[in-house]
Structure 1
């Protein structure tokens, strides 16, 4: 995947001020993060986001909210524990 020095960020608009309506904007933003990583030359698929920290920033607009998602891919040499590793 990518190195630690890469950070991807994208902003999508939501026409609602209510958090339960922000799902589409968040989903589009996350998909665009993966596209940006592809464009940067990284070999990454949606599944590579499991265990990654995605950061969310919400800014109120006159009509709704701007949803900004950012992601700094971790080095694959230092993977996070898988969910099955947490289960006892």
Structure 2
């Protein structure tokens, strides 16, 4: 888990997990793992489950090619 430094007061959390396949249909496990880790981190920091808030959980998804497959990154800005 890494926290991106930002000059504003907005908290930013991101998690990257590598998928061992280059096929989009195979990325589900990596995305689920990244989301799970991100939700645990946000819950630990804020004290509440972000999925239970009135606006739900709003995340960005980034996919980047790596030699062994794809790097799946989910980012939350709260």
Alignment TM-score, normalising by the size of structure 2 = 0.74
How far apart, in 2, do the equivalents of 1:41 and 1:52 lie? Answer: 13
Tell me whether 1:18 sits opposite 2:19 in the alignment.
Answer: no
How far apart, in 2, do the equivalents of 1:52 and 1:14 lie? Answer: 23
Q: Which runs of 4+ in 1 moved over 3 A?
A: 45-48
Q: Report the secondary structure of 1:39's partner residue.
A: helix
Measure how far apart 1:34 and its partner are.
0.9
How far apart, in 1, do the equivalents of 2:63 and 2:45 lie? Answer: 25
Alignment TM-score, normalising by the size of structure 1 = 0.67
Structure with more strand by fraction: 2
RMSD: 2.2
Tell me whether 1:27 sits opposite 2:9 in the alignment.
Answer: no
When Rg is computed on C-alpha atoms for both structures, the one with the higher figure is 1
* Structure 1: gaps of 5 or more residues: 74-88
* Structure 2: gaps of 5 or more residues: 1-8
